[in-house]
Structure 1
Amino acid sequence: MASPIDATGPVAAAWTPYCGAGPSPAELIARWNLDPVVIGLLALGAAGYAVHRRRGGAGRDLLVAGGLAALAVSFVSPLCALSSALFSARVAHHALLVAVAAPLLVFGLPKAARLPLGLTTLVHVSTVWLWHAPGPYAWALSHDAAYWLMQASLFGSALAFWSSVRTAPAIAAAGALVATMMLTGLLGALITFAGQPLYAPHLATTYAWSLTPLADQQLAGLIMWAPMALAYLIAALVLVGRSLADADTAAARA
């Protein structure tokens, strides 16, 4: 992690996050993101899946709908604006992308080509660590192109990771999920116990929410450490449980 930032000093950079300036609590309910490009891409994805199903393509409708809904919550709902104010909201936003939307879409759509499990695990974990380091994170909030690079790389690496989990042998996939849980949990712990605020874009945006930058940062670390990491653990336990059930079924038939 980078050196601590002096929360009492001036904030030198002019942050221009994609979803606009951080809202106050009274403003939040009205801060929907109606970017026609984002809405159009979500509608195009939904329409493309509907056409795929009408033509007899395989899919699990509820999972795909849930994945698209998670993307809409991330980028269209007031969570987008809230993530400009609170680092904890940003981490919740990223958790929705990588641990909810990505696996729902991967398991809802037909299987993709098999990808190397070790490589996708390494890339996914490294991407999560990279964008939650103070320097790259601050850069991502400096202009829209950097913001979308952050989002695309996080979501893309998560799609690749969950695709490799889906196609790998159950025990190997469970091992990759546990490793990801431990490494993302470690990052969450480091953020939680950093002791001083590290994220310059939020030094002046948390007080309207009755949080100091440090308290907001600690909450963000806890979100990554517990619920986000828990998603990987639950998936690992499901895979192990299914593997044991399949083994029992095979033994009973033998």
Structure 2
Amino acid sequence: MLAAGAAQAHDVAAPVTPQLGWSFEPWVVICLGLSALLYGVGLARLWRKSGEGRARLRLQAWSFLVGWLALVAALVSPLDAMGTRLFSAHMLQHEAMMIVAAPLLVLARPFALWMWGLPAGWRRPVGAAVRTGPVQTVWTLLTWPLFAWLFHAAVLWLWHAPLFFEAALHSNAIHTLQHISFLGSALLFWWAVLGDGSFRPQRGLSMLYIFTTMAHTGALGALLTWSGIVWYPSYLGAGEAFGMDALEDQQLGGLIMWVPGGLAYLIAGLALVGKWLGHTPATAGDLASGRRAP
């Protein structure tokens, strides 16, 4: 969850117009850098011991790199500062965290690599701590698919309510909480859906969670797109330098959530279906003869 801790962004309470350049919030940079350093060190150590498992490690490393770069684009690049001027940029930032960075970081299986990245003397006590009953109970609850789905949906709709979204635009603390909850709930959702890479027995439910999430996020995007009023008054006049009024900016933001966002969930769902269909279970004859299905 080190990546989720990096979700503090631009200074929304600054009295002056922000410069649309790269932002280097110290805690963001530290968390991003530390997560990448631990993963890189763990990858190098595990690589020497992996043998035939290097192909999978390579895929996980690429997933982490692309997901990590998506977080950098969302939290450090000029897109971050543009979020205070354009609602559509703010939506693009949120989508980069929730439907690009989050699933890729889950596919990267970071916990094992981070553990290998720790100093040797730390691994055993840290491993023992995370295997304790209370920690395992909390983790099981958080990654229970139904809970993760409900939590992610509630976070998404709650923060897009005008009262809470406006509050996040005027308070650095609330804005940080908004980004942490977006990224954290997305990580839990994708972890619950994608799991540990094994083939879950309740595949139908996994598909249901993906496509219902696509449906309700698309519905929110459609509401923003087709609304004839501006939901967030703080953006009134802010986008004129970019040639858009607040309503056009809101409609573009809704389209970003509706179309590319929905497409990302659709691709994820189809990829899971393809993976499951490609996994042929062993037949009775195979099991009796000691052979495995290809």
Taking structure 2 as the reference length, the TM-score comes to 0.74
Partner of 2:232: 199
**Does the 8 A contact of 1:20 with 1:84 survive in 2?**
no
- Which of the residues 216, 227, 244 maps onto 2:260? 227
1:36 positional shift: 2.0
For residues 34 and 140 of structure 1, what CA distance do their matches in structure 2 show? 20
Partner of 2:218: 185
CA spacing shift, 1:190–1:90, aligned 2, 3 Å: same
For residues 18 and 151 of structure 1, what CA distance do their matches in structure 2 show? 15
**Does the 8 A contact of 1:185 with 1:226 survive in 2?**
yes
Q: Which has the higher contact order (CA 8 A, sep 6+)?
A: 1
1:19 positional shift: 8.1
**Greater C-alpha Rg:** 2
Deviations 1:137-193, CA, capped at 9 Å, x for gaps: 010011111111000000000000000011244332122100100000000011111
- Which of the residues 153, 156, 162 maps onto 1:134? 162
Partner of 1:56: 46
| Bigger fraction of residues in helix | 2
Q: How many residues align?
A: 233
- Which of the residues 143, 146, 152 maps onto 2:174? 146
CA spacing shift, 1:19–1:162, aligned 2, 3 Å: farther
Identity within the alignment, %: 38
- Residue segments in structure 2 that go unaligned for 5+ positions in a row: 1-10, 48-55, 113-138, 287-292
Deviations 1:71-95, CA, capped at 9 Å, x for gaps: 1000110000111111011111000
CA spacing shift, 1:218–1:32, aligned 2, 3 Å: same
Aligned pairs for 1:1-254 within 5 A:
17=12, 28=20, 31-56=21-46, 59=57, 60-110=60-110, 115-167=143-195, 168=200, 169-247=202-280, 250=282, 253=293
Report SS of the residue matched to 1:33.
coil
1:118 positional shift: 1.1
Give the alignment's Cα RMSD to 1 decimal.
2.3
1:111 positional shift: 7.2
Worse overlay, 127-136 or 148-157: 127-136
The aligned amino acid for 1:100 is V
CA spacing shift, 1:109–1:149, aligned 2, 3 Å: same
Taking structure 1 as the reference length, the TM-score comes to 0.85
**Does the 8 A contact of 2:228 with 2:247 survive in 1?**
yes
Deviations 1:45-76, CA, capped at 9 Å, x for gaps: 10111122233288511110111101100011
**Does the 8 A contact of 1:171 with 1:239 survive in 2?**
no
1:20 positional shift: 7.8
CA spacing shift, 1:178–1:20, aligned 2, 3 Å: farther
For residues 67 and 19 of structure 1, what CA distance do their matches in structure 2 show? 29
* 4+ residue runs over 4 A deviation: 18-23, 110-114, 249-252
**Does the 8 A contact of 1:21 with 1:85 survive in 2?**
no
